[in-house]
């Protein structure tokens, strides 16, 4: 018998089976059931020619098994080396990916910090101007509590810039709001990554609750509001509006503005009104729906 130079798992299993059969047949020929029952006396009962034949078969089989085991011990080394190299490459790629992500995060962080700082500066200037005008122009310094409130308002404004509010969307108990909003944006050809929730508790027979939509950035929110203007051309959504996520104070101001515009123009949904000076004041993106600000 000869052994192959490479380990073959199938061949190794066949060798194991052949060895077991060979041992069982030899034990049966010697009249015992287990190898522990063998003795020189029992083996000596066989003729010399038969003993020589069994010894030769056993030696050949042992040689084949030994070669197969040795080959199999060397074969995984190459595979292991390849696996280690592949693992090293994966780790390297992961490190590069993490570096790219960190660079993007740092870039976004810088932009946000710059935006917040500029907004804070503008808010402080505006607030200081109001304070000075109310105190006869005296240079009264801002208190810490006033400055804290200004910063909090700026942060809230920055957070809200990523959100939009949907008004007029049908409201049912136990609804799948995410699926409903997804269907609306599908109709507009948009598939944004968003989180949605209804604002307030469901009351049967009441006006539909607004839907708060949180996007990944203010840019996405602006795009959704721009696209949302096309809803008026869709029969199913002609009374549905996509507006900015304003603070309660801003909503109250706009609610009063809507009332004033309706009073001055006496039309349902004006977008341009005339001032007393004969000029036109444009209200960009303002949807004058009673459900949106009521």
Specify the pLDDT at position 258: 82
**Residue 277 pLDDT:** 34
Q: Kindly report, residue by residue over 185-231, the tens digit of the pLDDT.
A: 999 999 999 999 999 998 888 999 999 999 999 899 999 999 999 99
Q: What is the pLDDT of residues 234-267, one digit of tens each?
A: 999 999 999 998 887 887 888 888 888 888 876 5
The Cα 162–Cα 251 span in angstroms is 17
CA-closest candidate to residue 243, choices 132, 169, 143: 169
CA distances from 138 to 130, 132, 142 (A): 11, 6, 12
Cβ atoms 283, 261 nearer than 8 A:
yes
Give pairs for 234-239: CB < 8 Å, separation 24+.
Answer: 234/187, 236/187, 237/169, 237/184, 237/187, 239/168, 239/289, 239/291
Residue 35 pLDDT level (bands cut at 50, 70, 90): confident
**Quick check: 164 and 223 in contact, CB under 8 A?**
no
pTM over 0.85: no
Instruction: Give the span between the Cα atoms of 287 and 282, in whole angstroms.
Output: 12
What does the alpha-carbon distance between residue 259 and residue 10 come to, in Å, rounded to a whole number? 86
């Amino acid at each position: 018998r000869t052994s192959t130079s490479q380990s073959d798992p199938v061949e190794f299993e066949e060798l194991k089976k052949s060895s077991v059969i060979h041992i069982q047949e030899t034990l049966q020929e010697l009249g015992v059931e287990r190898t522990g029952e063998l003795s020189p006396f029992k083996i000596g009962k066989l003729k010399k020619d038969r003993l020589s034949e069994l010894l030769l078969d056993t030696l050949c089989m042992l040689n084949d098994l030994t070669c197969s085991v040795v080959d199999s011990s060397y074969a995984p080394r190459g595979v292991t080396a390849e696996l280690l190299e592949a693992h090293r490459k994966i780790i390297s790629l992961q490190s590069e990916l993490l570096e790219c992500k960190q660079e993007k995060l740092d870039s976004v962080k810088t932009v946000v910090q710059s935006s917040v700082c500029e907004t804070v500066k503008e808010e402080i200037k505006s607030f200081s101007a109001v304070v000075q005008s109310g105190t006869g122009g005296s240079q009264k310094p801002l208190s810490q509590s006033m400055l804290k409130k200004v910063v909090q308002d700026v942060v809230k404004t920055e957070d809200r810039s990523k959100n939009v509010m949907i008004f007029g969307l049908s409201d049912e108990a136990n609804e799948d709001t995410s699926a409903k909003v997804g269907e609306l944006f599908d109709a507009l050809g948009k598939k944004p990554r968003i989180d949605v929730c209804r604002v307030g508790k469901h009351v049967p027979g009441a006006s539909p609750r607004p839907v708060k939509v949180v996007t990944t950035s203010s840019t996405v929110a602006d795009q959704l509001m721009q696209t949302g203007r096309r809803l008026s051309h869709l029969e199913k959504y002609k009374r549905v509006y996509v507006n900015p996520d304003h603070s309660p104070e801003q909503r109250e101001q706009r609610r009063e503005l809507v009332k004033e515009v309706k009073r001055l123009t006496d039309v349902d949904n004006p977008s341009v009104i005339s001032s007393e000076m004969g000029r036109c004041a444009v209200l960009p993106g303002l949807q004058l729906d009673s459900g949106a600000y009521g």
